[in-house]
Amino acid sequence: MKKNMVWWFLIVIVVVGILVFITINSKRVDYSNSKIAGEEQNNMQNAQQIEGVKIIILKEGNGDIAKSGDTVAMNYTGKLADGTIFDSNVDPKFNHVQPFVFTIGAGQVIRGWDVGIAGMKVGEGRILEINPDYAYGEAGAGGVIPPNATISFEVELLQIEK
Protein backbone atom coordinates (compact mmCIF):
# COMPACT_ATOMS: atom_id res chain seq x y z
CA MET A 1 0.00 0.00 0.00
CA LYS A 2 2.78 2.41 0.93
CA LYS A 3 4.57 1.52 -2.27
CA ASN A 4 1.46 2.40 -4.31
CA MET A 5 1.15 5.79 -2.59
CA VAL A 6 4.77 6.61 -3.36
CA TRP A 7 4.24 5.72 -7.02
CA TRP A 8 1.07 7.81 -7.23
CA PHE A 9 2.86 10.70 -5.58
CA LEU A 10 5.74 10.46 -8.09
CA ILE A 11 3.32 10.24 -11.03
CA VAL A 12 1.45 13.33 -9.83
CA ILE A 13 4.74 15.25 -9.46
CA VAL A 14 5.86 14.26 -12.97
CA VAL A 15 2.47 15.17 -14.51
CA VAL A 16 2.43 18.55 -12.75
CA GLY A 17 5.99 19.21 -13.90
CA ILE A 18 5.09 18.39 -17.50
CA LEU A 19 2.02 20.65 -17.36
CA VAL A 20 4.06 23.53 -15.96
CA PHE A 21 6.71 23.04 -18.67
CA ILE A 22 4.09 22.98 -21.45
CA THR A 23 2.32 26.06 -20.08
CA ILE A 24 5.52 28.10 -19.86
CA ASN A 25 6.72 27.16 -23.33
CA SER A 26 3.34 27.63 -25.02
CA LYS A 27 3.29 31.34 -24.09
CA ARG A 28 6.52 32.11 -25.90
CA VAL A 29 6.13 33.82 -29.25
CA ASP A 30 8.95 33.77 -31.75
CA TYR A 31 9.45 37.28 -33.13
CA SER A 32 12.89 36.55 -34.53
CA ASN A 33 11.71 36.69 -38.14
CA SER A 34 9.64 39.86 -37.79
CA LYS A 35 10.76 43.09 -39.40
CA ILE A 36 10.42 44.99 -36.13
CA ALA A 37 12.61 42.53 -34.24
CA GLY A 38 15.28 42.79 -36.91
CA GLU A 39 15.25 46.59 -36.84
CA GLU A 40 15.33 46.66 -33.05
CA GLN A 41 18.20 44.19 -32.98
CA ASN A 42 20.14 46.24 -35.54
CA ASN A 43 19.49 49.44 -33.58
CA MET A 44 20.63 47.83 -30.33
CA GLN A 45 23.83 46.64 -32.01
CA ASN A 46 24.41 50.24 -33.11
CA ALA A 47 23.68 51.67 -29.63
CA GLN A 48 26.25 53.09 -27.27
CA GLN A 49 26.15 55.06 -24.02
CA ILE A 50 28.34 58.14 -23.71
CA GLU A 51 27.96 59.90 -20.37
CA GLY A 52 24.23 60.76 -20.02
CA VAL A 53 23.37 60.09 -23.65
CA LYS A 54 22.35 56.82 -25.29
CA ILE A 55 23.20 56.99 -28.98
CA ILE A 56 21.49 54.79 -31.55
CA ILE A 57 22.82 55.02 -35.08
CA LEU A 58 19.98 54.89 -37.61
CA LYS A 59 21.93 55.63 -40.77
CA GLU A 60 25.68 55.62 -41.31
CA GLY A 61 27.20 58.79 -42.71
CA ASN A 62 30.08 58.98 -45.13
CA GLY A 63 31.40 62.51 -44.78
CA ASP A 64 33.62 64.43 -42.38
CA ILE A 65 33.41 63.74 -38.64
CA ALA A 66 32.06 66.48 -36.34
CA LYS A 67 34.13 67.43 -33.29
CA SER A 68 34.13 70.06 -30.56
CA GLY A 69 34.60 73.53 -32.05
CA ASP A 70 32.96 72.64 -35.39
CA THR A 71 29.84 74.50 -36.50
CA VAL A 72 27.24 72.01 -37.67
CA ALA A 73 23.90 72.15 -39.49
CA MET A 74 21.31 69.65 -38.27
CA ASN A 75 17.79 68.41 -38.87
CA TYR A 76 16.05 67.24 -35.70
CA THR A 77 12.82 66.15 -34.05
CA GLY A 78 12.57 66.19 -30.25
CA LYS A 79 10.26 63.87 -28.32
CA LEU A 80 9.23 63.25 -24.74
CA ALA A 81 9.38 59.71 -23.35
CA ASP A 82 5.69 59.19 -24.20
CA GLY A 83 6.38 59.99 -27.88
CA THR A 84 4.96 63.53 -27.86
CA ILE A 85 6.90 65.72 -30.30
CA PHE A 86 7.86 68.98 -28.58
CA ASP A 87 10.03 70.54 -31.31
CA SER A 88 11.19 69.87 -34.86
CA ASN A 89 12.83 71.75 -37.69
CA VAL A 90 11.47 69.33 -40.28
CA ASP A 91 7.78 69.65 -39.31
CA PRO A 92 6.16 72.86 -40.65
CA LYS A 93 3.81 73.12 -37.66
CA PHE A 94 6.80 74.29 -35.58
CA ASN A 95 7.40 77.29 -37.89
CA HIS A 96 11.16 76.94 -38.30
CA VAL A 97 11.81 74.61 -41.19
CA GLN A 98 15.49 75.24 -41.83
CA PRO A 99 18.65 73.50 -40.64
CA PHE A 100 19.57 74.21 -37.02
CA VAL A 101 23.12 75.58 -36.80
CA PHE A 102 25.31 75.61 -33.67
CA THR A 103 28.91 75.13 -32.57
CA ILE A 104 29.68 71.88 -30.73
CA GLY A 105 31.04 72.43 -27.23
CA ALA A 106 30.27 76.18 -27.13
CA GLY A 107 27.36 75.89 -24.68
CA GLN A 108 24.79 76.90 -27.30
CA VAL A 109 22.71 73.73 -26.85
CA ILE A 110 21.92 71.26 -24.09
CA ARG A 111 24.86 69.15 -22.99
CA GLY A 112 23.30 66.00 -24.47
CA TRP A 113 23.57 67.51 -27.95
CA ASP A 114 27.24 68.44 -27.49
CA VAL A 115 27.96 64.86 -26.38
CA GLY A 116 25.68 63.12 -28.89
CA ILE A 117 26.56 65.11 -32.02
CA ALA A 118 30.35 64.95 -31.60
CA GLY A 119 31.62 62.01 -33.63
CA MET A 120 28.82 62.07 -36.20
CA LYS A 121 29.64 61.93 -39.90
CA VAL A 122 27.92 64.11 -42.49
CA GLY A 123 24.81 62.24 -43.65
CA GLU A 124 24.56 60.22 -40.43
CA GLY A 125 21.25 59.81 -38.60
CA ARG A 126 21.02 59.10 -34.87
CA ILE A 127 18.60 58.92 -32.00
CA LEU A 128 19.90 60.64 -28.88
CA GLU A 129 18.18 59.50 -25.67
CA ILE A 130 19.22 62.16 -23.18
CA ASN A 131 18.86 61.82 -19.42
CA PRO A 132 17.65 64.88 -17.45
CA ASP A 133 21.14 65.87 -16.23
CA TYR A 134 22.22 66.30 -19.86
CA ALA A 135 18.94 67.95 -20.93
CA TYR A 136 16.81 70.41 -18.94
CA GLY A 137 17.18 68.86 -15.46
CA GLU A 138 14.92 69.83 -12.58
CA ALA A 139 13.74 73.03 -14.27
CA GLY A 140 12.25 71.49 -17.40
CA ALA A 141 11.77 73.89 -20.31
CA GLY A 142 9.09 76.38 -21.24
CA GLY A 143 6.16 74.41 -19.89
CA VAL A 144 6.73 71.93 -22.73
CA ILE A 145 9.38 69.66 -21.20
CA PRO A 146 8.55 68.60 -17.65
CA PRO A 147 11.11 68.63 -14.83
CA ASN A 148 13.49 65.65 -14.73
CA ALA A 149 12.38 64.45 -18.18
CA THR A 150 14.37 62.04 -20.29
CA ILE A 151 14.01 63.28 -23.86
CA SER A 152 15.07 62.00 -27.25
CA PHE A 153 16.02 63.60 -30.52
CA GLU A 154 16.17 62.05 -33.95
CA VAL A 155 18.99 64.01 -35.60
CA GLU A 156 20.70 64.12 -38.98
CA LEU A 157 24.01 65.87 -39.60
CA LEU A 158 23.74 67.88 -42.83
CA GLN A 159 26.94 69.91 -42.89
CA ILE A 160 30.11 70.74 -40.95
CA GLU A 161 32.02 74.02 -41.04
CA LYS A 162 35.52 73.56 -39.62
**Could you report the per-residue pLDDT of 135-158, keeping only the tens digit for each?**
999 999 988 999 999 999 999 999
* Predicted pLDDT of residue 82: 96
With 50 as the cut, is the pLDDT of residue 38 above it?
Answer: no
Lowest-pLDDT choice from 19-23, 30-34, 141-145: 30-34
Task: Count how many residues are written for the chain.
Answer: 162
* Predicted pLDDT of residue 32: 42
* Predicted pLDDT of residue 39: 46
**Mean of the pLDDT values across residues 120-147?**
96
* Predicted pLDDT of residue 34: 37
Q: Are 59 and 124 in contact (CB under 8 A)?
A: yes
**Mean of the pLDDT values across residues 105-134?**
98
What does the mean pLDDT of the chain come to? 85
Phi and psi, residue 11, nearest 5°: -65, -45
With 60 as the cut, is the pLDDT of residue 35 above it?
Answer: no
Question: What distance in Å separates the CA atoms of residue 146 and residue 58, rounded to the nearest whole number?
Answer: 27
Residues 78-92 have pLDDT tens digits of: 999 999 999 999 999
With 50 as the cut, is the pLDDT of residue 30 above it?
Answer: no
pTM: 0.72
* Predicted pLDDT of residue 11: 72
Residues 64-79 have pLDDT tens digits of: 999 999 999 999 999 9
Pick the CATH number of 36-161 from 3.30.1240.10, 2.60.40.3080, 3.40.50.150, 3.10.50.40: 3.10.50.40
Q: Are 152 and 78 in contact (CB under 8 A)?
A: yes
Task: Please spell the DSSP secondary structure of 53-115, one letter per residue.
Answer: EEEEEEE---SPBP-TT-EEEEEEEEEETTS-EEEESSSGGGS--S-EEEETTTTSS-HHHHH
- By annotation, the residues acting in catalysis are 76, 86-87, 110, 136, 153
Question: What distance in Å separates the CA atoms of residue 48 and residue 25, rounded to the nearest whole number?
Answer: 33
- The full set of domain ranges for the chain reads 36-161
